[in-house]
C-alpha cells in the first residue's frame, strides 16, 4: 500500500467509524453468533498473495462485525464499561501511526514525559497526595500483581527476587467481595492462594475492619507473616467501598503494604462530592484505577500510583548492557516500573481525553451517570416489583424481581430467567452477580454516550421482560 492509498482508506475508515457510532443503537448489543460460527467462516490457511483492503473490509463487515458485542453502545449496561470516546480514538490512531516502543526515556522522550505529567494530573484530579508518582499499566490485574510483588520484595529486603522463596508464610488480606484479580495476583506472586485471607463483609458489602484485625492477629500468633491488605474500593459486584481510613490505620499498625483496588470507581473521585470516600487514601502504598473503564479512554489504560518509587524500581529493575543510556540517572525509564519491557504510548490518549473534555466535562459526565442511576433506581423501586440488593453508591444498581412470598433459591431461578429475557430482547445488555447468595441483576449506567433516553429504554426492556415472565410463569 502506498501513501495515497493509505490516505484514501484512512478517510474511508474514519467514515466507517463515524457511521458505526451514529448507528450503534441499531445493532443487537450482544452478539448473536453461536460458538464456532466465526471460526468456521475463516479459512484454515492464510492467503498466499496479498488481498485488497476492499476484500478484507468486506469480510470484516460480513464475518467479524456479527461477532462483536457492542461495548460502545449506550445500551451496554453489563459488567463495568470499557469506554472509549472520539478524542481517545483519534489519539490511538496517532499512537498506531507513530508506533513508538516506549520502554525507556530515550526510545521516545515525549512518551515518558507526557506519561509523568498526565499521571500527575490524574493523581491530583482524584485527590491523592503528591507523594504518589504514577505509571500507566495495561490493566488493574497487572497493577495489583505489581503491588504484591513490590510488597513481597520490600518486606524481604529484595531477597525473594534474588534467592527465591525461603519458607516465608506470607498472608494477604482482602474482602469476600474483592475482585478475582487479587487471587490471581496472589497465585502468580507465589504466595499460594490459601494464603489469601478473605474477610467477612458488612450489610453494605464492605470489609469489616475488626474482623480484618482479628485475622491479622490470629495469623501472627500462628507463625504467618501478614504482608498486605487490598482494599476493595468499588467492588465489582455492587461498588461497595471498603473504609480506607480504618484499613489504612490497621496497615500502619501492623506495618503492612496497603493496596487500593479502585479499578472502576476511582474515576468518580474526580468529583469533589465523592472525595470523602478517599479519606485514608494517603495511608495507601499503592492505588490503581482504570481510566479505560469510566474515563472515556480506550482499553487499555490503567493508572497505578505508588508511594515508594524506589521499592517499585528495585523490584523490577533489570539493566542489560543494550538498554543502558547516558540519561538513566535523571529520567524515568518506565520499563522498570512494571512487568513488561515494551510499552505502548498510552499517555497520548489520556492527554487527548483530559484536554478535550476538560476537568469540568469529565466531572459533569460522571455526575450525570450517577444521577441517571439514581433515576433508574427510583423507577425500579416505584414499580413495586423489585428489591434493591445493595446501596447504589455510584452508578450500579443491583436488583431482583420479587413477586413476593418466595424463597431465595426460587427467586434466584426466576431472576436468572428474567435476565435471559432481558438480554434476548437485544435492545440492551445487562449482567448479574450474587450478593449474599441472592441472584442480583446489575444495571450499570456509565457508557460514554448514555443519556436519559437510553435509561428509559433499558427500564422498558426490564419491565417488558417482567411481563413476559409473568405470562410464561
Ligand atoms: N478490580 C475490580 C474491582 C474490577 O472490577 C476489575 C474488572 O472489572 C478488575 C480489578 C480487573 O480489571 P482489569 O480488567 O483492568 O484487569
- Do 308 and 167 have their domain in common? yes
Closest by CA position to 270, among listed 395, 128, 72, 89 = 128
Give the Cα separation of 101 and 71 in Å (integer): 28
Q: Is 84 left (phi over 0), alpha (psi -120 to 50) or beta?
A: beta
What is the number of alpha carbons within 13 Å of residue 34 lying toward its C-beta?
2
Q: Is residue 189 part of a domain?
A: yes
- Do 369 and 326 have their domain in common? no
- Do 131 and 278 have their domain in common? yes
CB contact at 8 A, 422 and 430: yes
Q: What is the CATH number of the domain that holds 284?
A: 3.40.640.10
Q: Is 239 in the pocket of ligand 1 (CB under 6 A)?
A: no
Q: Is 140 in the pocket of ligand 1 (CB under 6 A)?
A: yes
Cell numbers standing for residue 152: 513481597
Question: Which atom belonging to ligand 1 lies closest to the Cα atom of 144?
Answer: 10
- Do 272 and 206 have their domain in common? yes
Centre of ligand 1 from the C-alpha of residue 386, in Å: 28
Residue-wise over 325-351: b if at least 16 C-beta within 10 A, else e? eeeeeebbbbbbbbeeeebbbbbbbbb
User: Which of 188, 262, 264, 288 is the best mutation target for the ligand 1 pocket, counting ligand atoms within 8 Å of the beta carbon and taking the most?
Assistant: 264
Give the Cα separation of 51 and 59 in Å (integer): 11
Tell me which residue has its CA closest to atom 5 in ligand 1.
Answer: 236
- Do 334 and 304 have their domain in common? yes
> Could you read off the pLDDT of 125-150 as tens digits, one per residue?
999 999 999 999 999 999 999 999 99
Tell me which residue has its CA closest to atom 6 in ligand 1.
Answer: 263
- Do 335 and 401 have their domain in common? no
Q: Is residue 32 part of a domain?
A: no
User: Which of 78, 179, 293 is the best mutation target for the ligand 1 pocket, counting ligand atoms within 8 Å of the beta carbon and taking the most?
Assistant: 179
Give the Cα separation of 473 and 470 in Å (integer): 5
- Do 323 and 263 have their domain in common? yes
User: Which of 263, 286, 295 is the best mutation target for the ligand 1 pocket, counting ligand atoms within 8 Å of the beta carbon and taking the most?
Assistant: 263
CB contact at 8 A, 257 and 154: yes
Which residues does residue 303 pair with via DSSP β-bridges, in sequence order?
Answer: 136, 289
Q: Is residue 212 part of a domain?
A: yes
Tell me which residue has its CA closest to atom 14 in ligand 1.
Answer: 139
Q: Could you tell me the residue range of the domain that residue 231 belongs to? A: 100-344
- Do 309 and 391 have their domain in common? no
- Do 339 and 434 have their domain in common? no
Centre of ligand 1 from the C-alpha of residue 169, in Å: 27
Chain-centre distance of CA 177, in angstroms?
Answer: 15
- Do 435 and 403 have their domain in common? yes
**Domain edge (last residue) among 298, 315, 344:** 344
**Domain edge (last residue) among 279, 311, 344:** 344
Closest by CA position to 330, among listed 5, 148, 157, 109 = 109
CB contact at 8 A, 302 and 343: no
> Could you read off the pLDDT of 47-68 as tens digits, one per residue?
999 999 999 999 999 999 999 9
CB contact at 8 A, 125 and 297: no
Total count of domains within the chain: 2
What is the H or E stretch that residue 366 is in?
helix 347-383
Q: Is 302 in the pocket of ligand 1 (CB under 6 A)?
A: yes
Question: Cβ neighbours of residue 89 under 8 Å, at least 6 residues apart?
Answer: 17, 298
Q: Is residue 49 part of a domain?
A: no
Peptide bond into 289 cis (omega under 30): no
Centre of ligand 1 from the C-alpha of residue 179, in Å: 7
- Do 272 and 390 have their domain in common? no
Per-residue pLDDT of the chain (473 residues; tens, 9 = 90+): 999 999 999 999 999 999 999 999 999 999 999 999 999 999 999 999 999 999 999 999 999 999 999 999 999 999 999 999 999 999 999 999 999 999 989 999 999 999 999 999 999 999 999 999 999 999 999 999 999 999 999 999 999 999 999 888 999 999 999 999 999 999 999 999 999 999 999 999 999 999 999 999 999 999 999 999 999 999 999 999 999 999 999 999 999 999 999 999 999 999 999 999 999 999 999 999 999 999 999 999 999 999 999 999 999 998 777 766 777 778 889 999 999 999 999 999 999 999 999 999 999 999 999 999 999 999 999 999 999 999 999 999 999 999 988 899 999 999 999 999 999 998 999 999 999 999 999 999 999 999 999 999 999 999 999 999 888 76
Q: Is 290 in the pocket of ligand 1 (CB under 6 A)?
A: yes
Which residues does residue 443 pair with via DSSP β-bridges, in sequence order?
Answer: 397
Question: Which atom belonging to ligand 1 lies closest to the Cα atom of 236?
Answer: 5
Q: Is residue 80 part of a domain?
A: no
Q: Is residue 67 part of a domain?
A: no
Centre of ligand 1 from the C-alpha of residue 178, in Å: 10
Rg (CA), the chain: 24
**Domain edge (last residue) among 344, 374, 397:** 344
Tell me which residue has its CA closest to atom 12 in ligand 1.
Answer: 140
Q: Is residue 51 part of a domain?
A: no
- Do 409 and 330 have their domain in common? no
Cell numbers standing for residue 460: 422498558
Q: Is residue 424 part of a domain?
A: yes
Q: What is the CATH number of the domain that holds 385?
A: 3.90.1150.170
Other Cβ atoms closer than 10 A to 304: 28
The pTM for the full model equals: 0.95
Amino acid at each position: 500500500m502506498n501513501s495515497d492509498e493509505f490516505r484514501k482508506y484512512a478517510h474511508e475508515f474514519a467514515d466507517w467509524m463515524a457511521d458505526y457510532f451514529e448507528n450503534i443503537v441499531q445493532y443487537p448489543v450482544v452478539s448473536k453468533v453461536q460458538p464456532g460460527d466465526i471460526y468456521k467462516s475463516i479459512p484454515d490457511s492464510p492467503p498466499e498473495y496479498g488481498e485488497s483492503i476492499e476484500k478484507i473490509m468486506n469480510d470484516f463487515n460480513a464475518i467479524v462485525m456479527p461477532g462483536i458485542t457492542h461495548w460502545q453502545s449506550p445500551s451496554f449496561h453489563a459488567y463495568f464499561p470499557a469506554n472509549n470516546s472520539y478524542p481517545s480514538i483519534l489519539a490511538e490512531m496517532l499512537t498506531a501511526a507513530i508506533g513508538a516502543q516506549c520502554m525507556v526515556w530515550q526510545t521516545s522522550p515525549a512518551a515518558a514525559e507526557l506519561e509523568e505529567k498526565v499521571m500527575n494530573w490524574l493523581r491530583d484530579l482524584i485527590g491523592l497526595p503528591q507523594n504518589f508518582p504514577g505509571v500507566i499499566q495495561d490493566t488493574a490485574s497487572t497493577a495489583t500483581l505489581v503491588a504484591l510483588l513490590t510488597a513481597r520484595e520490600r518486606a524481604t529486603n529484595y531477597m525473594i527476587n534474588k534467592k527465591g522463596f525461603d519458607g516465608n508464610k506470607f498472608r494477604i488480606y482482602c474482602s469476600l467481595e474483592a475482585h478475582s484479580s487479587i487471587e490471581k495476583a496472589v497465585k502468580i506472586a507465589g504466595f499460594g492462594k490459601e494464603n489469601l485471607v478473605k474477610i467477612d463483609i458488612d450489610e453494605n458489602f464492605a470489609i469489616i475492619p475488626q474482623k480484618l484485625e482479628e485475622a491479622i492477629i490470629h495469623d501472627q500468633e500462628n507463625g504467618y507473616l501478614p504482608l498486605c491488605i487490598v482494599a476493595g474500593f468499588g467492588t465489582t459486584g455492587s461498588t461497595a467501598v471498603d473504609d480506607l481510613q480504618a484499613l489504612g490505620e490497621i496497615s500502619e499498625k501492623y506495618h503492612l503494604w496497603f493496596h487500593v483496588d479502585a479499578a472502576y470507581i476511582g474515576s468518580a473521585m474526580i468529583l469533589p462530592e465523592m472525595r470523602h470516600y478517599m479519606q485514608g487514601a494517603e495511608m495507601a502504598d499503592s492505588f490503581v484505577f482504570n481510566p479505560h473503564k469510566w474515563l472515556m479512554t480506550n482499553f487499555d489504560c490503567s493508572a497505578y500510583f505508588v508511594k515508594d518509587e524506589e521499592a517499585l524500581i528495585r523490584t523490577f529493575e533489570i539493566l542489560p548492557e543494550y538498554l543502558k543510556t547516558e540519561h538513566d540517572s535523571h529520567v524515568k525509564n518506565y520499563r522498570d516500573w512494571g512487568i513488561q519491557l515494551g510499552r505502548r504510548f498510552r499517555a497520548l490518549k489520556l492527554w487527548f481525553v483530559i484536554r478535550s473534555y476538560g476537568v469540568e466535562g469529565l466531572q459533569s459526565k460522571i455526575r450525570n451517570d450517577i444521577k441517571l442511576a439514581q433515576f433508574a433506581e427510583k423507577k425500579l423501586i416505584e414499580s413495586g416489583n423489585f428489591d434493591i440488593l445493595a446501596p447504589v453508591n455510584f452508578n450500579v444498581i443491583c436488583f431482583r424481581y420479587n413477586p413476593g412470598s418466595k424463597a431465595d433459591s426460587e427467586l434466584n431461578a426466576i431472576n436468572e430467567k428474567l435476565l435471559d429475557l432481558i438480554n434476548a430482547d437485544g435492545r440492551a445488555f445487562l449482567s448479574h452477580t450474587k450478593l449474599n447468595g441472592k441472584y442480583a441483576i446489575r444495571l450499570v449506567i456509565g457508557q460514554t454516550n448514555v443519556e436519559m433516553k437510553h435509561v428509559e429504554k433499558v427500564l422498558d426492556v426490564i419491565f417488558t421482560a417482567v411481563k413476559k415472565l409473568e405470562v410464561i410463569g
